[in-house]
Each structure stands twice: as structure tokens, then as C-alpha cells.
Structure 1
Amino acid sequence: MGGLPKFTRPKGGQELSCNLYVANCGPAVGLTLDRIASAFSSFGTLKGVYPADETGCRVIVSYHDHTSAHSALKALNQNPSRDLGGRSLHIRYSIERPSWPAKASDSVQVYLEASELNIPGIYLIHDFVSPQQEEQLLAAVDARPWHSLAKRRVQHYGYEFRYDIRNVNTHQPLGEIPSFVACVTERIPLFRNLNEAVDISLDQLTVNEYPAGVGLSPHIDTHSAFEGSIYSLSLSGSCIMEFRAYAGDTNSSNLLRKAIYLPPRSMLLLSGEGRYAWQHYIPHHKVDMVKDTMIRRGPRRVSFTFRKVRKGPCQCDYPQFCDSQKVKHDD
């Protein structure tokens, strides 16, 4: 997991800097970051080589001193580099932007493990699928039609989730969950090692594609729509998921907030209190702060959310958040 500092042009033009913006250079043009670092390290000690953006065609080369950066710029700018396959580079100075000042109201500690959250019923398994399985899953959904929402695209299997009513129509099944997710569903029983009570029988799948910077509004999945175990697999990109709950009733100003980092190929389980009583939320960020490290989100994040459709009213232990029990009490 690596942080990506933010860089910009110096305000005074080509003033000296320890950092170089290098165009026509990056993984998209066949040059790995390690190969770029090897070529530029001959001019001085590097702090690092970073992608400058999501294109893969531009990088930031960062030195410990501006003398080394000046030597590299003078030698390589618009000149073919033998160490980089004869590619002609376009280089200018760049400066690192300071991290954005987090508002006190926005700051929330981000954990890497679900056990650190201390929210009953929330579990996270890293590397739930392999990189090869990740590619196969993404190829499978990209070969099928997407439905466009305001800011993201979705696919539904088993049953359609209706966003207008935040529920499903159990009288209109879409068929079985597709066979291409077998590599995921066959590993769901791993969660029994963490919580013997979790439900591993699933009949509904929603696939969401989030472009960079797009998140998810705070919500609790409708109690009457689904049973108590919700599994969410993150592919292609990472994000932070924040959990929110009020100490006392929902009119209280004492809002509890906790967050976890979801890396690609990780599987999150929401069950029990974490599923029924805590809102979950994905901030609308292009860069996430994780333990003082800035992590840039990829150009897309695709989530596979597996659930079991509920066939009767919910009878959970959290009536203040339960639409089934609120209706019963109102009657």
C-alpha cells in the first residue's frame, strides 16, 4: 500500500525544486516505476517515483536535493534516454502540495483491520480473491450490460434492488446468481471461522462501479429487504468506508464515527449490530488519508455486494432502525 503525494507547478515557473514532473514516461508506455527509478538514480538519491495521475503516462521523480533534480532535468529533458528505451522525456520542476488541512469535524481515525473498529459484526478478510480472479470477475461484468445511475453504474442478479423504494420485489426474481462468481461464493464459508452465526446462503448480487471520487451516502441497508449478513467485495480500486452511529437516539448530537480502509480484493462482512444499527458511508474523495498517508483512489472501484433476500418481516434487536418493527409499532 503506497501513498501518493500531490504535486503542482512552482508559482515562479522553472525555479529549483527537488521534484520533477516527467511526461511520456510511466507504466502505460511500457516503463515500470522501478525502471524509471533506476534511470534517474544515477543523478542522485531518490525519495521516490510516483504516478502523476491516473493515465500512467506521467510520473513525479522526487530527489532528496534540488541539485540532483537539476542535473537530471538538464541531462534528460527532451533528450532520448538509453536507459528508458530511447524514449524522449518532457520534464519540468514540480513542488509538493501540503496535505489538505483536515477540519476537526471531518477527522476520523482510519483502521486497517476490522478488529480495530470494535463494532460487533463487522469483519474484513484481505486478499479474498487472487489478482487473476479479480481480472476475470471484472471482465465478466464488463461483458454484460450496465445500468447507469446519477454517478455510478450498477448490475443486479438474483433480484433487482429498487433504489426508489430501497427494497426488492420478491415476486420478480431475475434468476440465479451467475456462475462467474463461484470463485467468491465458494470462499464465503471462511467467515464461519470468524462468526459461526453468519448466514452464508445468498441469492442476490449487486455490482456497483464507482468512478474516482464517487462515494456512497450514509445509510443502513433496509432491514426488511435483506437478511442479517451482507458481504461486499472491493475490486480494482480502494476506498475508505466510514461507519456512523448515534449515542442515544437519532436526534442526538453525539455522533460516533469509525472508518476502515478497504484495499482491492478485500471482502467486508456486515452482520449483527454493524449491519443493523450503524450507517455505512463512502466519502466522496479522490484521495484518502490512511494513517498519515495519502492514498489515491484508482480510476474505478467495482464492488460485488452479496445478500440474501428476506421473505418475511425483520425481527432484529434494533427496532429504532428497523422498518418492519416501526410499521408494526405505528399500527
Structure 2
Amino acid sequence: MGLPKFARLKGVHEELSCNLYVANCGPAVGLTLDCIASAFSAYGTVKGVYPADESGCRVIVSYYDESSAQSALKALDKNPCHDLGGRFLHIRYSVERPPCQVRDPDTVQVSLKASEMNIPGIYLIHDFVSAQEEEQLLAAVDARPWHNLAKRRVQHYGYEFCYDIRNVNTQQKLGDLPSFVECIIEKIPLFRKLHEAADISLDQLTVNEYPAGVGLSPHIDTHSAFEGSIYSLSLSGSCIMEFRASVGDRYMNNSDYSSNYARKAIYLPPRSMLLLSGEGRYAWQHYIPHHKVDMVKDTVIRRGSRRVSFTFRKVRKGPCKCDYPQFCDSQQVKQEIGSY
């Protein structure tokens, strides 16, 4: 997934442009894109601010007119910018490269609402917790020990999830869910208007911390491990979650696929809660691409330094009897036994 394509011009006296290439400026040096846009808006209406490359310390500031870009360049190039903490900026004009007409086969349209994906059983509520609650939740888990995996850190509550067998040991309960998640649990009934799954009592929590660029491999949560509904709260950082189903499955639209899979994607902003239930939970794989930069509706969004997810589930005490046997480990085992 690429960035907008811009070419930096060599000198300030060459071709005028509405776009400025700004060095020593960006998330890697502690400046958000919104903060940069605010500072440059003093010289005209800013159309957008975009990462210039993967470094995080160079951006493209785009105006609607060349005169605004020219004023900003003259005022700020090699001069301290008061609104950006006195940082000295290095600025050149930039021109946007013509977009490639060939569609990248690895891209997928990213939805902002779950209804846009048209996958039954998937719902998303924005601002599920407040900014203050987010801060308190992050402080609570950071005060507790983390378990290190290969690329991320985790905490388990209620029951431990065993990654080697992708299941839980129901005979070893760790205890009740921690009190600091009560602000989340009490809001679960908000989903009752969307799905009856909100009535399920949740007893297992996995907290995952994803560093920038780290994703999650495609998988379906083990049917025999958990009841149908899975709730995942995103904190601190955003990401794109993709869903896929094999070509030929009756659970996908054959006109909407890439390679051998139907693919859908949704943007998960901080403080949003995602519900996976029914077909979306049982029949579609979900995963997080390993990207540092995501393209959402033609907007470039750089992932934060960390994303922390709180995933709530209900541990299953018996075999799964869902309507999706081809994906169900409980029913596949039963079929294998019956074939002898």
C-alpha cells in the first residue's frame, strides 16, 4: 500500500507548485499531521498533509493555490517555526506525479462503516469509550506484567489463550475479569440494538499491544474455544482489519475478490469497538496487514507507535454446533471419527 507520489524539485526558483516538500517535520520528530496543517494554515487553506516517505520526518503540505505555498516557503524555509516548537524547516516545491492507471492487485477498498462491507454479523461502534477512559485503561494494563511474543506483547485474564494449540484450557481459570474493564462491560448492551449477542456473559480477555507496522496473520478464532461473539476494542492507535473468504465459498460475492479470496476491509479508529458474530465470526478469516501506513478513502494514515486491543470472548464449554461445518473444528473432528 503506497503513499501519494510526489517529486521534490531542486530549488526554490524552479517550477511553482501548490505542494511543498518539508523536511525535519513529521510524526518521527514529534509533530502530528494535524499540528503541521494548523501551522501552515497561517499562509492559506491547507488541502492536506501527507507523509513524504516512510521515514516519518518529511511531509508534503498541499495547498489549494500556488500563492499560499509560495508565502509559506518564503516565511518558513530555513527559519524557526514558532507554531512547531521553533523547529527549523527545510522546504522545496513539490509536484504530484501522475497516478498509475493500473490497479494494484494487492489493494482493497477500505470501509469506514461495517455496513459498507456487507458481511453479516460484523458491527462497529465509534467512540465506544471516552478519551479519559482510554487513558485509564492503558494505564491499568501498563501497570501489569506483559508476556512477550515474537512481535507483540499480550496479557490474559479469565482464561489464558494457548497460541500453540489456538485454544484455552477450561480447567485452569485465572480468575474473574479485572475491575478496570467494568467501563467496557457495562456498555456491551449498546449492541443489543444490532445483535442479540450482546446478552452473552463474557469471561475471557486478551490484551494485545501491537508496535507500529506489526499486524496479525489471517485466521478464524477456533470455534471450539469460544462462543460466537467476539468484541475487540482498539485503543491508542488505529489500523485496518481485513476479512477474506475463499473463492467459491457461498459466503462471498464472486465479483468482489482479489487473487483466490474475496476481500473486505474496515478502518478501526482509536476507541472503536468491533463485534464479530454469525457469518463474519465463523466463516470469514480476519487479519491486520503488516503496514506502517494505511490508505483510507484516499487519505494516508500513519499508524501510531502502538495499538492496544482488548478482545473479549466467552469460553465454550462444549462442542460447537454452528451452521458453518467446513470451518468448524468440532464438526470436522466428529466427521473424521464417523469415517472410521
- Whether TM exceeds 0.5 here: the answer is yes
Equivalence map 1:303-322=2 (5 Å): 303-322=309-328
Q: TM-score, normalised by structure 1?
A: 0.84
Q: 1:140 to 1:56 in 2, by over 3 A?
A: farther
For 2:20, the aligned partner's letter is N
3-state SS, counterpart of residue 123 of structure 2: strand
**Residue in 2 aligned with 1:240?**
240
3-state SS, counterpart of residue 169 of structure 1: strand
Q: 1:292 to 1:80 in 2, by over 3 A?
A: closer
**Residue in 2 aligned with 1:162?**
162
**Residue in 2 aligned with 1:87?**
86
Q: 1:234 to 1:25 in 2, by over 3 A?
A: closer
TM-aligned CA deviation for residue 49 of structure 1: 4.5
TM-aligned CA deviation for residue 139 of structure 1: 1.2
For residues 100 and 179 of structure 1, the distance between their equivalents in structure 2, rounded to whole angstroms, comes to 52
**Residue in 1 aligned with 2:133?**
133
Q: 1:88 to 1:78 in 2, by over 3 A?
A: farther
Encode CA deviations 1:278-316: one digit per residue, 9 max, x unaligned: 111111122222223222222211111000111111111
Encode CA deviations 1:12-47: one digit per residue, 9 max, x unaligned: 4665553041537889479944651344x1xx5543
Q: 1:180 to 1:7 in 2, by over 3 A?
A: farther
Q: 1:150 to 1:292 in 2, by over 3 A?
A: same
Equivalence map 1:210-289=2 (5 Å): 210-246=210-246, 247-248=248-249, 255-289=261-295
Tell me how many residue pairs correspond in the alignment: 323
Q: 1:282 to 1:271 in 2, by over 3 A?
A: same
**Residue in 2 aligned with 1:109?**
109
Q: 1:77 to 1:115 in 2, by over 3 A?
A: closer
3-state SS, counterpart of residue 138 of structure 1: helix
**Residue in 2 aligned with 1:147?**
147
Equivalent residues of 1:237, 1:297 under 8 A apart? yes
For residues 224 and 161 of structure 1, the distance between their equivalents in structure 2, rounded to whole angstroms, comes to 13
For residues 9 and 95 of structure 1, the distance between their equivalents in structure 2, rounded to whole angstroms, comes to 6
**Residue in 2 aligned with 1:190?**
190
What residue ranges of structure 1 are gaps of 5+ in the alignment?
Answer: none
3-state SS, counterpart of residue 320 of structure 1: helix
For residues 305 and 317 of structure 1, the distance between their equivalents in structure 2, rounded to whole angstroms, comes to 24
TM-aligned CA deviation for residue 196 of structure 1: 2.2
For 1:278, the aligned partner's letter is W
Equivalent of 2:39 in 8, 26, 36: 36
Equivalent residues of 2:40, 2:72 under 8 A apart? no
State the percentage of identical aligned residues. Answer: 70
For residues 300 and 142 of structure 1, the distance between their equivalents in structure 2, rounded to whole angstroms, comes to 12
Structure 1, 171-180 or 22-31: larger mean CA deviation? 22-31
TM-aligned CA deviation for residue 227 of structure 1: 0.7
Equivalent residues of 2:46, 2:63 under 8 A apart? yes
For 1:295, the aligned partner's letter is I
Equivalence map 1:196-211=2 (5 Å): 196-211=196-211
For residues 109 and 52 of structure 1, the distance between their equivalents in structure 2, rounded to whole angstroms, comes to 22
Q: 1:67 to 1:77 in 2, by over 3 A?
A: same
Equivalent residues of 1:137, 1:181 under 8 A apart? yes
TM-aligned CA deviation for residue 219 of structure 1: 0.5
Q: 1:32 to 1:53 in 2, by over 3 A?
A: farther
3-state SS, counterpart of residue 264 of structure 2: strand
3-state SS, counterpart of residue 115 of structure 1: helix
For residues 257 and 195 of structure 1, the distance between their equivalents in structure 2, rounded to whole angstroms, comes to 23
Q: 1:28 to 1:88 in 2, by over 3 A?
A: closer
3-state SS, counterpart of residue 261 of structure 1: strand
Q: 1:24 to 1:325 in 2, by over 3 A?
A: closer
Equivalent residues of 1:22, 1:89 under 8 A apart? no
TM-aligned CA deviation for residue 322 of structure 1: 0.8
For 1:10, the aligned partner's letter is R
What residue ranges of structure 2 are gaps of 5+ in the alignment?
Answer: none
3-state SS, counterpart of residue 177 of structure 1: coil
For residues 9 and 277 of structure 1, the distance between their equivalents in structure 2, rounded to whole angstroms, comes to 44
3-state SS, counterpart of residue 324 of structure 1: helix
Structure 1, 193-202 or 72-81: larger mean CA deviation? 72-81
3-state SS, counterpart of residue 264 of structure 1: coil
3-state SS, counterpart of residue 315 of structure 2: coil
Equivalent residues of 1:159, 1:172 under 8 A apart? yes
